[in-house]
Amino acid sequence: MKLIRTLYFLPLLFLIPAAFAGTQTQVERGQYLATAGDCISCHTGPSGKPFAGGLKMKTPFGYLLTPNITPDVQTGIGSWSEEDFFRAIHDGVNKHDQDLFPAMPFVAGTKVSREDVNAIYAYIQTIPAVSNAVSVNHLDFPFNIRKSMFFWRELFFTPGFYQPDTSKSASWNRGAYLVEGLGHCSDCHSPRDVLGGIKQSKAFTGALIDGWFALNLTSNITTGLGAWSASDIATYLKTGAYPGKTTALGPMAEVVHNSTSHLTDDDLLAMATYLKTLPANSSLYGGNKKIDLHKLEGARLYIDNCSGCHQSSGRGVQGVIPPLAGNPAVIAPNPGNIIKVVLNGVIAQNNYIAMPEFSSKLTDVEIAELVNYARTSWGNAASADVTASMVAKERRTPKN
């Protein structure tokens, strides 16, 4: 997928280009989708081989070099499974269960359907493997520490597939899917705050990127696309020009050349149809994410005390450390078991290593915050109903 250059029911037929529905192989479909996502632009370095990485991505916090995503086993993603690839796009987690830096637009990628991600993976496996080792992380301390992404994710990332709006047309939904998902247009066309997150209330209203201003895509009549017709927008995406008005410049010219000029007319018109409905002061489809200060504190406690073993995504280590994501003991209606485990630890058993106790290290309030975080993260949907008094009661209960 194209990376950010500056950090920071309807029938499902609408997910498929109408001209290609039912006629493409999975690899052909994946090639089209990878083109829609403009993966090649950011994963190709200067004078480098396609998809072999090495493009320098400047950020306010240092820089990153884009990774090699060719199927080379040693230096690319040749050893990645289909599931590994899906998790990177949908969850922002790499093969080693490490959080990806948000220069990779997984905030948009999470909206892409599983079928489409699998198709892109199938296509990537067919491109020539290139041996090109890339040292990705050149961010300044402490931003170079992947665990610091925990807080960023809490603030700015909500995983979940695109959900069609049944009150809108299939074309509008297809356009929304492309603009907000594969195309990740808001990543370049939205201003960002000091942490590199999109200012939701100003999404799509334009932003400075690589010294170029990515234009306002909202319906603002003066500075946006309010005076453009859907046909004008589609033509611009196809040709890079709005005759008599403007031409694509800088990074947008690259997007047109590598991506949008290769899309079907139906898809371009769908994108234009969706863009024409963006209000002048836009916010991302799906709304703003409310910041839960209790969950942020829980995330901090998890990072400090648990993530070293249970991993950032709560998946543990297979056969050695149990997962917290989807663990029945964690998400049980009654949280007594998980409270006991945090307080008293667990002995080694069935090849799983021992877990230390935290009763002497954490307060009742901290354990309550930590347990609530685990019960509501990584897809866990239990209630965050653990209180300090509940922990205190368990602390007073004699161990069995």
Positions at the binding site for heme c? 39, 42-43, 185, 188-189, 306, 309-310
- Residue 174 phi/psi, 5° resolution? -60, -40
Please report how many Cα atoms fall inside a 13 Å half-sphere around the Cα of residue 370, on the Cβ side.
25
> Residues annotated in the binding site, as ranges?
39, 42-43, 185, 188-189, 306, 309-310
In 3-state terms, what secondary structure has residue 373? helix
In 3-state terms, what secondary structure has residue 103? coil
Alpha-carbon span 51 to 74, nearest angstrom: 15
Instruction: Order the strands of the 137-139 sheet from edge to edge.
Output: 56-59, 62-65, 137-139
Nearest CA among 207, 205, 185 for reference residue 196: 207
Amino acid at 84: D
Surface-to-core class of residue 282, CB atoms within 10 Å of its CB (0-12 exposed, 13-18 middle, 19+ buried): buried
Is residue 17 within 8 Å of residue 265, measured between CB atoms? no
- Residue 110 phi/psi, 5° resolution? -65, -20
Is residue 1 within 8 Å of residue 102, measured between CB atoms? no
Beta strands in 116-245 (DSSP E): 137-139, 207-209, 212-214, 241-242
Cα–Cα distances in angstroms (integers) from residue 225 to residues 84, 278, 321, in the given order: 39, 9, 53
Alpha-carbon span 17 to 52, nearest angstrom: 28
Please report how many Cα atoms fall inside a 13 Å half-sphere around the Cα of residue 186, on the Cβ side.
29
The alpha-carbon radius of gyration of the chain (Å, integer) is 23
Is residue 94 within 8 Å of residue 137, measured between CB atoms? no
Alpha-carbon span 245 to 226, nearest angstrom: 14
Alpha-carbon span 360 to 192, nearest angstrom: 41
Alpha-carbon span 398 to 389, nearest angstrom: 16
